[in-house]
Amino acid sequence: MQFNNRSFGPSVPPVTMHLLAINILMWLATFVSLKVWGRDFNEILGLHFWKASNFMPWQFITYMFMHDSTNFYHIFFNMFSLWMFGGLIERALGAKRYLLYYIVCGLGAALVQELVWQLSWQNMLMSSVRGPVANVNDLINAINAGQADFTMDQFFNSMVTVGASGAVFGILLAFGMLFPNVKLFIIPIPFPVKAKWAVLGYGVLELFFGISGVMDHVAHFAHLGGIIAGIIMILYWKHTGIIRRNGIY
């Protein structure tokens, strides 16, 4: 992906630089720890389902600075996108507002992911309990009576997500809303695409993959959560006059 515009400047502003550094350092630390000591920091700092024994409240923040240490492409594409677009949004919003935006988009992604897990758990209960059940209390009683086909704690602790993707998708959304007519070259599309259409296309793809249930180990609905949080914040800032209604560019 490339800009068809050179007016933004090459330097990376401080908040984006620090976000890049923290994510990369945490990935390296997790990689080394897993290789040397067999300890995966994602078990502590990754976001778990709220019912899991491994869940801790701080994971709503820490998960967005963690990545799969066994998958280099996971952190590479997130950091590449953050490097390419983050600085532009930081300059547009200012350092403090940009950091707030980044964190809120990450939180939005986390909350949507927790909701998806909750719905998955309820669906699992409905499909795993033997015999008819009338309500949630009957489901819980069935589990306690040993009528469920899975171990609940194992199921809960298997639900974990890591990555800056939710926050990064929020940044992509901000780029599409603040610089809607900037043209991007997106491989393999052979012609430039305006940012607003590129972001819309990404959103539609994430919705499609999320609904279709593609088993690719990607939290597509979390990405949508980051986009939704970003839309709310950008529209609020436009409404209050912090951002001009017709965008910055």
Does residue 245 lie within any of the structural domains? no
Does residue 214 lie within any of the structural domains? yes
Instruction: Report how far apart, in Å, the C-alpha atoms of 74 and of each of 39, 113, 163, 164 are.
Output: 19, 18, 8, 9
C-beta contacts of 176-180 below 8 A and 24+ residues apart: 176/200, 177/230, 177/231, 177/234, 177/247, 178/89, 178/92, 178/234, 178/243, 178/247, 178/248, 178/249, 179/88, 179/247, 179/248, 179/249, 180/247, 180/249
Does residue 159 lie within any of the structural domains? yes
pLDDT of residue 212: 66
Does residue 171 lie within any of the structural domains? yes
pLDDT of residue 2: 47
The closest alpha carbon to 179, from 86, 249, 93, 82, belongs to 249
Does residue 249 lie within any of the structural domains? no
Q: How far is CA 105 from the centre of its chain?
A: 8
Does residue 182 lie within any of the structural domains? yes
SS3 of residue 154 by DSSP: helix
Digit-by-digit pLDDT tens for the chain (249 residues) are 544 444 445 588 999 999 999 999 999 999 999 999 988 999 999 999 998 989 999 999 999 999 998 889 899 999 999 999 999 999 999 999 999 999 999 999 999 999 998 887 777 667 655 555 555 556 566 566 655 545 667 778 888 999 999 999 999 999 999 998 888 877 777 788 888 888 888 777 767 666 666 555 677 788 899 999 999 999 999 989 888 754 443
pLDDT of residue 161: 94
Per the structure block, which two tokens stand in for 47? Answer: 């976001």
- Looking at the structure of the chain, the number of domains it has is 1
pLDDT of residue 141: 62
Does residue 248 lie within any of the structural domains? no
Instruction: Report how far apart, in Å, the C-alpha atoms of 248 and of each of 119, 156, 196, 242, 243 are.
Output: 39, 44, 14, 10, 7
Does residue 32 lie within any of the structural domains? yes
Domain range holding 224? 2-239
Q: How far is CA 116 from the centre of its chain?
A: 13
The closest alpha carbon to 171, from 2, 19, 10, belongs to 19
pLDDT of residue 210: 62
- Indicate which CATH number applies to the domain containing 191: 1.20.1540.10
Dihedral sign (CA 11, 16, 20, 21)? positive
- pTM for this entry: 0.83
